Amino acid sequence: MKAERLNEILDQIEQDLGISERIKIELKPMKIKAASISFKSKTLRINKNMLKDLDEDCIRYLILHELIHYKLKSTYHSDRFYRQLDEKISRSEARELEGKILRSLLELNNIL
């Protein structure tokens, strides 16, 4: 996926969540993580090693997931976190995308 397209998706989701700060997106090879966000540097990182396995819906999910962490200024997957997520994506769709992401992580780590 091209950087331009990534930034388009990022912009859409930022708007949708009502985030006004400018978040940067970065592709970075990581060992364990699928994605991460730094509240301080306002940088969302996606694991470069997983990109080849992930379709646009998965990327969109990762960006949504990280931006909800940013919005809540919390890295926890609390009830509050999942309530926000549920507003933007159905549980069954989220579950399916999370399953795809797990499969991609399996290629990088022996988590099972």
From the list 1-9, 12-20, 21-29, 58-66, the region that binds its own copies by CB under 8 A is 58-66
Q: Cα separation of 53 and 63, whole Å?
A: 16
DSSP helix, strand, coil percent of the chain (3-state; round to 5): 60, 10, 30
81-85 long-range contacts, CB within 8 A, separation 24+: 84/17
Q: Does 72 bind its own copies (CB under 8 A)?
A: no
Q: Does 35 bind its own copies (CB under 8 A)?
A: yes
Q: CB-wise, 20 or 99, nearer to its own copies?
A: 99
Binding test (CB under 8 A) with its own copies, winner from 66, 67, 70, 84: 66
